[in-house]
Amino acid sequence: MIRLLVVDDHALVRAGLVHLLTSVPDFRVVGEAGDGRAAVAKVTPADPDDEPDVVLMDLSMPGMDGLAATRAVLAAAPRTRVLALTSFDDQARVLAMLDAGACGYLVKDAKPEEIVDAVRAAHRGDAPLSLAASTALVRARAARNPEVTLTAREHDVLRRLAEGLSNQAIGTELSISEATVKAHLTQIYQALQVSDRTSAVVKAIQLGLVPPPE
């Protein structure tokens, strides 16, 4: 069961999202909030069963906006995954939310099935990005990042990591052991100056090392 917190200051939009998400058998909406401060309070509820696994976070909200709320949510509950779901798709906002720790970024005109798939991807540790967000990352890569050099085998591992494969599946495809995959990932993380799979994928897209998701 994937537990969800929906954060949006527009009650109608929030209600629509809750309706969509509650219709999915393995989703459970454990809370909703109309602003960032309320969202932060709800990621550490009294009942651990109501702790959200994924937070759908709006960006533009009164008081504490989505950017500040994302930082605060992750400070309070580091294992929580924050998925930005907003009307804005400009480069600055996309990069700011990802830098704040959001694991993915969708715009609100996404199809319902895209939102459901993105929630699942966020929950399993992937980095779901809308086409607009991916484009923003690609356009920003030259200005924001130095050149990164990887070996051919590290490129092979990185491409499969971006496709969402597990370490075991990567090893099977490349005919190498899981321990070797982990060793390659360590080198990739060092080269990209990141510390986890999601950040590696986001940075790789940003640098143009792997293509954006279709």
Calculate the alpha carbon distances from 60 to 67, 147, 196 in Å. Answer: 9, 34, 28
Asked if the structure places residue 212 within a domain, the reply is: no
Residues written for the chain? 214
26 and 132 both lie in a single domain: yes
Please indicate, yes or no, whether residues 160 and 59 belong to a single structural domain of this protein: no
- Using CA atoms, how far residue 164 sits from 22, 39, 97, in Å, is 25, 29, 21
**Is 88 a domain residue?**
yes
Indicate whether 213 belongs to any domain.
no
pLDDT at 108: 87
Looking at the fold, whether 131 and 82 belong to one and the same domain comes out as: yes
- Within 8 A by CB and 6+ apart from 117, the residues are 128
Two structure tokens written together for 59: 């960006």
Which residues of the chain are under the pLDDT cut of 50? none
Whether residue 25 is found in the same domain as residue 59 = yes
Answer yes or no: pTM beyond 0.75. no
Structural domain that includes position 153: 145-207
40 and 136 fall within a common domain: yes
- Taken in order 34, 60, 84, 129, is the CA torsion positive or negative? positive
Q: How many domains does the chain divide into? A: 2
For 175-211, write each residue's pLDDT tens digit: 999 999 999 999 999 888 888 888 899 888 878 888 8
User: Are residues 59 and 98 both part of a single domain?
Assistant: yes
Contact 129, 102 (CB under 8 A): no
CATH number at 168 reads 1.10.10.10
Position 214 in a domain:
no
DSSP state of 212: P
Same domain, yes or no: 126 and 150: no
Tell me: do 71 and 161 sit in the same domain: no
